[in-house]
Structure 1
Amino acid sequence: MSAIASGRLPDATYVELVSSLFATRVPTVIMSLLFLMAGMLVVERTQDPVAAILMAGGVLSSLVRITLLFSGRMRHDAGAIDHAAAVVIERRFAISYVVFAIILGLFVARTMQLPDAALHTLAGILVVGYAAGAAAGTALRPRIAVASLLVAVLPPVAVLLFQSDPAYIASAIALAGFLAGGMRSLLRRYRTEAMSTAKRHGFAALARRDHLTGLANRLELAERFDRLCTEGFRTKRVAIHYLDLDDFKPVNDRLGHPTGDALLRAVAGRLRDHIRGDDIAARLGGDEFVVVQTAVRDEEEVAAMARRLERDLAEPYALDGREIVIGASVGWCLDDTAEPLLDALLQQADDALRLRKAERKSQPAEGTTGPGFGPGSAPASIPGSTIVSLPGYDWLRQSA
């Protein structure tokens, strides 16, 4: 809530609120057509050059705004809008939106200075309709909404206030009152919607994260893998690394679950250090983890990644004043199909993991060339699962 109040929004919330601007496409087209119609009528009846220039500027800014809205919507539908893209889209939209509002306000003010009273009514309807649409359509981006309302409504209010007819002065007061009430309502709506959206995204994120390690869980792993398959990555190869810790159960049994949990969090931290770009690190449960390696060139690159994972996860962990060393086994598979299925790849990597564990137990100190590491690639020797600096726990010193 404090983040909302201070204007700082979580990325997913910000992207969704910016995306709400795309819903103004149809109202924007309608408003642009009405502005063109009113502008042509005013220019035809008055031959006023200032009104003609303002009309041309308003039509041009409307075309820019409509183009931005439709192109942005296409990017949104393609799932290609992240936080950085949303910032650019909002900035461009804000400029075009406020520019049109400035032109509209000046056009209406100029029309009300002309002697044709019938056009005054048309201009008043135009600015009131615009203000209502702006308050409704851009309320979730309040800076854009407030700025556009002020620059569109205040110029006509100023012109009306300087008229001698009390009816015009009353109209100015009414417009000012509607402006104040509309801005108050849109700010309240923004706070409510932003908080609701942030909570919804927060709950959705919790459902997709492993509560202990903060890594992706199985649900998020599946969703992100599916996105990889739809975002052009099928032209590149993807590898799955399936790994678990060797003899993790004795850690929980003898040192307690808090230490075991701390060890899992430390393992997760090391896995994060290995991912890059669109790679994914996930915890499936217990001491089982998965790393999705993207943009893979060949099997040797995957085997090298597996060796690095085994080597780095076997480095000592300093936890609760103890130094814990525990090995890890990694099995991997490389995607060679046009439309890979995550479950099938996980099964292949799990099969390779079981072979790798058996291989390490039979040859704990020698490099091998088993299926888990691909043909011709010899993994480095990995220390066995050992817990050191724990007197009386020598029975935990085991080979992998």
Structure 2
Amino acid sequence: MPPRGRLAALLLVLLMASMPWAPATPAALPFSESFSTVGVTSTIVIGAADGGQDDRVEVDVDDGRSIARVDLTLESAALGRSTGADLSGASDFDAPGAVYEGMDVNGSTLSILPDGAFWDFEDPNHGWTLGGSNVWKRGFDSTLGSTGGVSSGSNALYTYDGNYPNGMSTTYWATSPDLACNGCSGTWELSFMRRLGVEYNYYDHAYVQVKNAQGNWAQIWQNPAATMNEGTFTSQTLDISNYVAGNPAFAVRFGLGTSDGSATYTGWNIDDVRIEPNGGATGTGEGSWTSAPFGPEVDGAPHARLTLDASVPGDAVLEATILDALTGTPVPGFTDLDAMTMDLGAIDAADHPLLRIHLEFEEGTAGSPSVGSIAYGGRMLYDLEIVPLASWTDASGSDPASAGAFNAGSGVFTGVSTYTSPLTTHR
């Protein structure tokens, strides 16, 4: 990526009389003043950063004096120091001065607190992974019928049509999607409707497991030392509090197998699965977050471009408003923006020396919005979901997967290669 640049405007002023000029400086910069001589051309360098005009130079004209001519020349110049910064991770999202409600600020992304999960399996796109070949299915066991094989609605998850076979040599699982619960705390429960038929656990096996915060599966229930052959659905509730808290990828799975060579039964029939808090911290599908103050008085640099590295699925909503940090009021023209980049250089730093960014989150049917980082002062910070790896190329124009250097399934690179990002535009 080419080095960041700025524009230097050379203001040539032919002075007809004595005329002072002084750079009006932010608190972080020293104040200086100089005077011109009558009739002498003066050159004033006015710096500008990415996204906006520098307003740190003022020209005063005494009463009775005039400026004969003003010449403006634009030239590129190296940025003397980095003014870029970013907010990312729990230390920034929960930094002193940040204000939030209904948000998970403890993970690598800024997101809405989860409000639990529910599956009634009426939607064919339920997201569960059904293991085995014709082992786990969605619908109802044809031998139990639509009344006996479903607790509510028209569909459930079940194993086999009829009884499971003898001699099952492994366990087959039905696994839920992951639930991001970085900010979860308190008491959480797994509840579901169950109709289960299985020989006692010396011979045949049925399990319920959950994925803990370390990514390992932990068993929270197994069939007892007595044969089960339930004739109706019954409500089941299991405490999962120790596994949900601070878990970035909580999941649940139901397993059937192994089995011996004698008696068999209907196996699992599961409906209306819920993961929900009972007195814990949970979300409502909405949230808001306001950053700590930033700007010239903090960073010693003028306002410039701000970029959000964010994911906004489907009909979810993520809106940004720029606030004056001193008054708490929105800066005109920067209210309820849905853009992922905004030019704060248009904001007068003299009028608004400190800013905050206020974000409103609202989940949609396809999921919740999340923010990985907020970069400002000209910095660009993206993850590979925003600038996908497939758009990076080697010298031959091939992306890593096409070149055989990257396995998308395992996420592993092999060999040594150089890949270049797509072209980005800076001004």
TM-score with structure 1 setting the length = 0.25
| Structure with greater helix percent | 1
Relative contact order, higher structure (CA 8 A, sep 6+) = 2
| Structure with greater strand percent | 2
TM-score with structure 2 setting the length = 0.24
